Structure 1
Amino acid sequence: MRIAIIVEGKNDRSRLRRVLSDDVPIYCTYGTPSTDRLEKLRGEVGDKHPYLFTDNDSSGKRIRGMLRDAFPDADHIHTRKGYSGVEKTPEVYLIEQLEKAGLEAYIMYPPQDPAPWKKEDQF
């Protein structure tokens, strides 16, 4: 399945780009989208399955409502209250939300830390 993610702004896109593979297009509303912007987003998304990743604040909820009307089949992902937007959400939480949405195949997981050094390792 081909997917696309729609976020509110370019900082959100930059933050998600750190944890998503480059073959996932991430589009921006650039704030509250106008009718023209919604039409342009529909064209950009095309036949890809949309995921809406928005902030969990009043503005994000308003934008999510507008996007829901434009993309009725979209899956919804959003940050937790307390995080000041997608751009300030810890990567581990972004990954957790993407996993909940079933997008594991597109996640670029950070490298695992090697096992900690032990005194016994020196012998």
Structure 2
Amino acid sequence: MNVEVEKVIIVEGKTDKQKLKEVISEPVTIICTNGTISTSKLDQLVDELLGKDVYILADSDDAGDKLRKQFRKEFPEALHLFVDRTYREVAASPSAHIASILLAANIDVHSKYL
């Protein structure tokens, strides 16, 4: 029996979430941290995400780096995805760029972005 593992992408803000929703063509849960995340909220998240494929897609800036550091410590099995530093922010990155990052992580995207 082949059970689909749920995919979860963690982003910083609502605009990042909107950008991903636009590009992704499979059911994926997108969680917003709204920037920073408290240790208690992070612990709760780690419990909820057990057994799921977790991806971290944070901005290429200090806040994004801080968030990644938190997740690396608390959730070492999460896969970190990176936007090109040229764009800095997930929401500011071209959809085609986001699509190529997601595709490389085996997340299905709408073909119009390829």
How high is the TM-score relative to the length of structure 1? 0.79
After TM superposition, list the pairs within 5 Å mapping 1:65-104 onto structure 2. Answer: 65-103=69-107
| Whole-angstrom distance in 1 between the partners of 2:26 and 2:17 | 12
Structure 1: segments with no counterpart, 5+ residues: 113-123
Q: Which of structure 1's runs of 4+ aligned residues deviate more than 3 A? A: none
Counterparts in 2 of 1:52-67, with a 5 A limit? 52-67=56-71
| Structure 1 counterpart of 2:109 | 107
CA distance in 2, matches of 1:41, 1:8: 14
Other structure's SS at 2:8 match: strand
Deviation, 1:111, is 7.5
Letter in 1 for 2:96: V
Does 1:26 find its partner at 2:30?
A: yes
Q: Are the aligned partners of 2:95 and 2:113 in contact in 1 as well (CA < 8 Å)?
A: no
Identity %: 34
Instruction: Let me know the Cα RMSD of the aligned residues.
Output: 1.8
- How far apart, in 2, do the equivalents of 1:21 and 1:36 lie? 32
Alpha-carbon contact 1:27-1:41 (below 8 Å) kept:
no
Query: What stretches of structure 2 of length at least 5 have no aligned partner?
Result: none
Check whether the contact 2:58–2:65 (CA below 8 A) recurs between aligned residues: yes
**How many residues are aligned here?**
110
**2:99/2:113 contact within 8 Å kept:** no
Larger radius of gyration: 1
Deviation digits for residues 28-74 of structure 1 (CA, Å, limit 9, x no counterpart): 11111111221232244242110111111121111111011121111
Q: 1:10 to 1:111 in 2, by over 3 A?
A: closer
Give the AA of the match of 1:36.
Answer: S
**TM-score for the superposition, normalised by structure 2:** 0.85
Asked if structure 2 preserves the Cα contact closer than 8 Å seen for 1:4 and 1:50, the reply is yes
